Amino acid sequence: MPRYLTMLRIDENNAPEGGPSAELMQRMGQLIEEMTKAGVLLDTAGLTGAAEGTRVRWNGGEMTVTDGPFTESKEVVGGYAIIQAKDKAEALEWTKRFLRTHEREWDITSEVREIAEG
């Protein structure tokens, strides 16, 4: 079965004050448990903020290392999940269910991409 990476993109400047609510964390936990029992969820985690990140770039034969925050970034990857599904349609359904656990004030984009095998 194919594996998919879902990258959750958020605008850190417009995320709800205080981060995820207790209710959101509970709904998310229930869905994660369901996905794990179904054998779909292989790994998932939230990421620290961009201010704590470091970018390493190779360009023109030179290496640059830049510590966050990155002022030119509007959206950042705030979390990820690796899921195994029968096809992309199923991966998208699980992703939609995850996004629906969030309250209305959240503005999240999830990019779903198949992991290239071999």
The domain that holds 30 is classified in CATH as 3.30.70.1060
Domain that holds residue 93: 3-114
* Residue 57 pLDDT: 94
> For the chain, how many structural domains are there in total?
1
Residue 62, phi then psi, degrees to nearest 5: -125, 145
Q: pTM here? A: 0.87
pLDDT value of position 1: 93
Q: Mean pLDDT, 10 residues at a time, over the chain (118 residues)?
A: 96 86 95 97 93 93 91 83 97 97 93 93
87-92: long-range contacts (C-beta < 8 A, 24 or more apart)? Answer: 87/2, 88/2, 88/4, 88/112, 88/114, 90/40, 91/2, 91/4, 91/6
Task: Please name the residues in contact with 118: beta carbons below 8 A apart, sequence gap of 6 or more.
Answer: none
